[in-house]
């Protein structure tokens, strides 16, 4: 296993910080707010290698725990943060053996976004019903935790692709 370069460590830190800052750019939409975190997680998966993407989003998790505290585990949106780690890793893994094109980027972003929701929605159900003791139907949770966010996720994915396509030649070709 190769060591991470100084450049990769710098990019990991930058993407973790941007993802964390993205959580403060927020629009309340019920139990889970609309934030720019997803934009930066998608960007992480599109421009970093799998190990660096995993570390960047793990560092994001640690930033949350350090600055927002361990009560963050009790937030309905915390499952998405766990999904960000796995999703960014799988996106980067998917892209490592493929050339960066619109088609492969869309495939990677669909994989990543699916993972975000695969982790986020069950965790949201667990917290809402188990910890908060709210009675919400599965369809209401699906609407407020998934369907409401699809248009914004598509827009963020478009921006992530545009930014990544501009950065891709520089990020992949810079000397170590």
pLDDT of residue 171: 78
pLDDT tens digits for 113-169? 999 999 999 999 999 988 888 888 888 888 988 999 999 999 999 999 999 999 987
pLDDT of residue 127: 92
pLDDT > 70 in the chain, percent = 97
pLDDT tens digits for 11-33? 999 999 999 999 999 998 877 88
Burial class of residue 161 (count of CB atoms within 10 Å of its CB; 0-12, 13-18, 19+): buried
Q: Is 100 left (phi over 0), alpha (psi -120 to 50) or beta?
A: beta
Identify any residues that bridge with 27 across adjacent strands, giving them in sequence order.
34
pTM (two decimals): 0.93
pLDDT > 90 in the chain, percent = 74
Domain extent listing, the chain? 6-26+33-173
Q: Which CATH architecture has domain 6-26+33-173?
A: Orthogonal Bundle (1.10)
């Amino acid at each position: 296993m190769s060591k991470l370069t100084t450049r990769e460590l710098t990019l990991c830190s930058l993407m973790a910080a941007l993802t964390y800052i993205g959580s403060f750019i927020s629009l309340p939409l019920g139990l889970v707010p609309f934030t720019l975190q997803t934009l930066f997680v998608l960007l992480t998966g599109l421009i970093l290698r799998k190990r660096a993407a995993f570390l960047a989003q793990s560092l994001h998790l640690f930033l949350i725990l350090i600055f927002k505290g361990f009560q963050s585990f009790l937030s309905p949106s915390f499952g998405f943060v766990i999904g960000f780690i796995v999703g960014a890793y799988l996106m980067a893994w998917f892209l490592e053996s493929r050339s960066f094109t619109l088609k492969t980027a869309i495939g990677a972003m669909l994989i990543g976004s699916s993972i975000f929701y695969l982790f986020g929605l069950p965790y949201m159900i667990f917290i809402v019903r188990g910890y908060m003791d709210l009675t919400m139907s599965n369809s209401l949770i699906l609407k407020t935790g998934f369907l409401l966010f699809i248009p914004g996720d598509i827009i963020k994915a478009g921006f992530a692709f545009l930014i990544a396509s501009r950065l891709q030649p520089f990020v992949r070709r810079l000397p170590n």
